[in-house]
């Protein structure tokens, strides 16, 4: 994923159910913003947001883990790890 260092990138996970989850498994190294937002502003969907450090140009990487398939009494049955690789440019 190529983006300018001033851009904010958003990844929609599709996770929104009460028993579904999303978390950052491996945090980026060169970020100003790297977080998962899940609130009324996202209509309760877990959305990952990233922006590089102000003066950073280069590569960065983050891993997001999503979980689905729980019925509320059991653990999730569908675990997925999404790797996003960034190339930050001027």
Instruction: Assign a CATH topology to domain 2-89.
Output: Immunoglobulin-like (2.60.40)
For residue 18, what pLDDT is reported? 86
Whether residue 44 contacts residue 16, with contact meaning beta carbons closer than 8 Å, is answered with yes
Nearest to 4 by CA among 55, 48, 64: 55
For residue 22, what pLDDT is reported? 97
For residue 72, what pLDDT is reported? 82
Q: Which residue has the higher pLDDT, 71 or 23?
A: 23
Q: What is the mean pLDDT of the chain?
A: 95
């Amino acid at each position: 994923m190529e983006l300018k260092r001033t851009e904010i990138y958003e990844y929609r996970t599709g996770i929104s159910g009460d028993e579904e989850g999303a978390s950052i498994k491996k945090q980026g190294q060169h970020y100003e913003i790297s977080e998962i937002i899940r609130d009324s502003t996202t209509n309760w969907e877990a959305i990952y947001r990233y922006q590089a450090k102000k003066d950073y140009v280069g590569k960065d990487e983050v891993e997001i883990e999503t979980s689905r398939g729980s019925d509320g009494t059991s653990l999730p049955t569908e675990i997925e790890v999404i790797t996003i690789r960034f190339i930050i440019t001027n």
